[in-house]
Amino acid sequence: MKIRAAVAWAPQQPLDITEIDIEGPRAGEVLLRVVATGVCHTDAFTLSGDDPEGAFPCVLGHEGGCIVEEIGPGVSTLKPGDHVIPLYIPECGHCEYCASTKTNLCQSIASTVWTGYMPDGTRRFSKGGEPIFHYMGCSTFAEYTVVPEIALAKINPAAPLDKVCLLGCGITTGIGAVLNTAKVEPGSTVAVFGLGGIGLSVIQGAVMAKAGRIIAIDTNPGKFDMARALGATDCVNPHDHGVSVKEVIVDMTRGGVDYSFECIGNVEVMREALECTHMGWGVATIIGVAGAGQEIRTRPFQLVTGRTWKGTAFGGVKGRSQLPGYVENYLDGRIEIDPMVTHVMGLEDINRAFDLMHESKSIRSVIVF
Ligand code: NAD
Ligand code: AHE
Ligand code: ZN
Ligand code: ZN
């Protein structure tokens, strides 16, 4: 079938909105009509060329709201017409990771998901006979995509796909980081570095966890109104101070916060986020992803004296079993998504979504097909 897609032919090039070919679903696969997709900073990270796993040409995109169009042989849990969110971390239900309550990192098809192939080692996208790589097992910057059944969360069809698509990554990651990874307790002090879709969702999670004080940090003060509206108690612009942001936060909290979250992908900020936590018990959670060759650093003394460094992928959420509950929480008003959608546009304008993100002018752009 011929479809329209935004193709990343090479790093650092604008996406090319063009017609490509897509093959139907093979065994265990599902063909989806993409109704809407968010644009996450990780898409920009891979397009930048800094992602060691980035494979080109590819169809990026991993925050999809989709409808099942056709199922391949052996697919038993989905049927045409079902509403689904693709998962970049699948849930096979059988591997040792799925069996563990300590992780969501199902490894059943990880070797192909992260290298741009379907589980059988082939690809479904091509143009003029040249194969095109998949991305994070989702490739939602296309009118149609093919995703393995084990990487699809079936959701309530009452949920608007142009909103709950953001539960495919950003919002779930931020909330899950607080509730599943850091396990913030009531009354805690929390510092959130970076107020994009992820950081603002961390604020939502911190409110759900009944944190006592939530300090929101961004170099763009234009993000502060939204942060306050979602529950931040204090806002800090690192540029307003003559000392490091770590010192500002330690002063504000008389010794440091209980929990911090890095939602930028900046290894220098990751260090500040660790070192602004309280001696003896502070926990810093890394959410941001950083490019090939970049490393985090601190003095071992920071850990010796009781601080913990953690990290999270998709907020520790097991997608097939737990994501439908996030959709219900949105429908019941317990999760805010609508204010996060600051821009809506068609696929032909997708490069503008990347520009807005780089200029820190959007929270989330949603592409509607
Ligand atoms: P975004 O671009 O929407 O937001 C980033 C924010 O950080 C912006 O508001 C920007 O102004 C701010 N910022 C930039 N530099 C700063 C600095 N030095 N100090 C303070 N603020 C600064 O990005 P996003 O979509 O929210 O994603 C954030 C990060 O999380 C990215 O690295 C992304 O790749 C990563 N991510 C990780 C996961 C995961 O599962 N671990 C999931 C989604 C996104
Ligand atoms: N390819 C990068 C890592 C990218 C990464 O960490 N991805 C996150 C999701 S970001 C969503 O916006 C993730 O879940 N990773 C799990 C995994 O197994 O890779 C690199 O540095 O190589
Ligand atoms: Zn993402
Ligand atoms: Zn598994």
Q: pLDDT, tens digit, for every residue of 187-228?
A: 999 999 999 999 999 999 999 999 999 999 999 999 999 999
Do 211 and 274 have their domain in common? yes
Ligand 2 atom 6: residue of nearest CA: 289
User: pLDDT digit string (tens) for 94-105?
Assistant: 999 999 999 999
The pLDDT value given to residue 203: 98
Half-sphere exposure of 11 (CA within 13 A, CB side): 10
Band of residue 145 on the pLDDT scale cut at 50, 70, 90 = very high
Residue 350 lies in a domain: yes
Do 161 and 193 have their domain in common? no
Residue 95 lies in a domain: yes
Do 237 and 163 have their domain in common? no
Q: What is the pTM of this model?
A: 0.98
Describe the strand order of the beta sheet including 125-127 as a list of residue ranges. 58-59, 2-8, 16-22, 125-127, 130-132
Band of residue 83 on the pLDDT scale cut at 50, 70, 90 = very high
- In the chain, % of residues over pLDDT 70: 100
Instruction: State in Å: Cα 174 to ligand 4 middle.
Output: 22
Do 154 and 184 have their domain in common? no
Residue 318 lies in a domain: no
Do 179 and 156 have their domain in common? no
Do 31 and 154 have their domain in common? yes
The average pLDDT across 306-325 equals 98
Pocket test for ligand 1, best of 180, 195, 198 (most atoms within 8 A of CB): 198
Do 181 and 154 have their domain in common? no
Do 99 and 72 have their domain in common? yes
Closest ligand (CA of 95): 4
Q: Residues of 25-58 as b/e, b for ≥16 C-beta within 10 angstroms?
A: bbebbbbbbbbbbbbbbbbbbbbeebbeebbbbb
CATH number for the domain spanning 200: value is 3.40.50.720
Average pLDDT, the chain: 98
The pLDDT value given to residue 162: 98
Instruction: State in Å: Cα 142 to ligand 4 middle.
Output: 27
Residue 9 lies in a domain: yes
Q: Is 51 in the pocket of ligand 2 (CB under 6 A)?
A: yes
Pocket test for ligand 1, best of 225, 263, 276 (most atoms within 8 A of CB): 263
Which ligand 2 atom sits closest to the C-alpha of 313?
Answer: 14
Band of residue 7 on the pLDDT scale cut at 50, 70, 90 = very high
Last residue in a domain, options 295, 312, 329: 312
The pLDDT value given to residue 228: 98
Q: Is 220 in the pocket of ligand 1 (CB under 6 A)?
A: yes
Band of residue 293 on the pLDDT scale cut at 50, 70, 90 = very high
| Rounded distance between C-alpha atoms, residue 145 and residue 23, angstroms | 9
First vs last C-alpha separation in the chain: 17
Do 149 and 255 have their domain in common? no
Q: What is the domain extent for residue 239?
A: 174-312
Do 49 and 130 have their domain in common? yes
| Rounded distance between C-alpha atoms, residue 108 and residue 344, angstroms | 35
Residue 325 lies in a domain: no
The pLDDT value given to residue 185: 98
| Rounded distance between C-alpha atoms, residue 79 and residue 276, angstroms | 49
Number of structural domains the chain divides into: 2
Instruction: State in Å: Cα 289 to ligand 2 middle.
Output: 7
What are 57's two structure tokens? Answer: 């040409």
- In the chain, % of residues over pLDDT 90: 100
Closest ligand (CA of 181): 1
Which ligand 1 atom sits closest to the C-alpha of 195?
Answer: 9
| Rounded distance between C-alpha atoms, residue 73 and residue 76, angstroms | 9
Pocket test for ligand 2, best of 114, 141, 317 (most atoms within 8 A of CB): 114
What are 214's two structure tokens? Answer: 């939530």
